């Protein structure tokens, strides 16, 4: 994968305000998809952190099968990014001792009773940018 493609993937990650996170629902066998906002301080091809509540189907699924797909779309560039990642659920304090400083105003307004962080470590990247499609395992770059 060319360095320019990696730069484009990084740009899409930084510019995207909401991402779709898909897990495999162990109970039904179907994908479970939610829209989550990544923490601005931790979004790269090495690690993405998502803030959510502990009592959700998404968290249940990650604890049962710790793999996710993360998708985002940039309308301005008509580009998309798909990451396949390993995921782990951490208490917000485990992930970032001062995690509230990393939340945007919407995330702060959620006031979860049991906040957690989903830490995603991407394994593969597929990007569509200017009608070019690239796929790579991230250990190859």
Give the end-to-end CA distance of the chain in Å, rounded to a whole number. 7
- pTM for the complete prediction? 0.88
106: which residues sit within 8 A by CB, 6+ positions away?
A: 37
Q: What is the pLDDT of residues 44-83, one digit of tens each?
A: 889 999 999 999 999 999 999 999 999 999 888 789 999 9
| 3-class DSSP assignment, residue 76 | coil
Per-residue pLDDT tens for 78-121?
Answer: 899 999 999 999 987 787 677 778 888 998 889 898 999 999 99
- Classify 98 as helix, strand or coil: coil
Domains of the chain: 3-140 (2.30.110.10)
What DSSP letter does each residue of 20-66 carry, written as one string? Answer: EEEEE-TTTSSEEEEEEPEEEEEESSS-EEEEEESSSHHHHHHHHS-
């Amino acid at each position: 994968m060319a360095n320019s493609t990696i730069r484009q993937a990084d740009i899409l990650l930084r510019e995207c305000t909401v991402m779709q996170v898909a897990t495999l629902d162990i109970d039904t066998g179907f994908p479970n998809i939610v829209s989550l906002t990544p923490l601005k301080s931790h979004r790269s091809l090495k690690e993405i952190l998502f803030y959510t509540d502990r009592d959700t189907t998404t968290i249940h699924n990650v604890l049962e099968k710790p793999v996710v797909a993360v998708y985002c779309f940039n309308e301005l560039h008509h580009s998309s990014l798909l990451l396949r990642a390993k995921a782990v659920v951490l208490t917000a304090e485990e992930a970032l001792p001062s995690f509230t400083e990393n939340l945007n105003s919407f995330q702060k307004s959620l006031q979860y009773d049991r906040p957690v962080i989903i830490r995603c470590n991407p394994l593969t990247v597929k990007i569509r940018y200017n009608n070019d499609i690239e796929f790579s395992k991230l250990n190859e770059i």
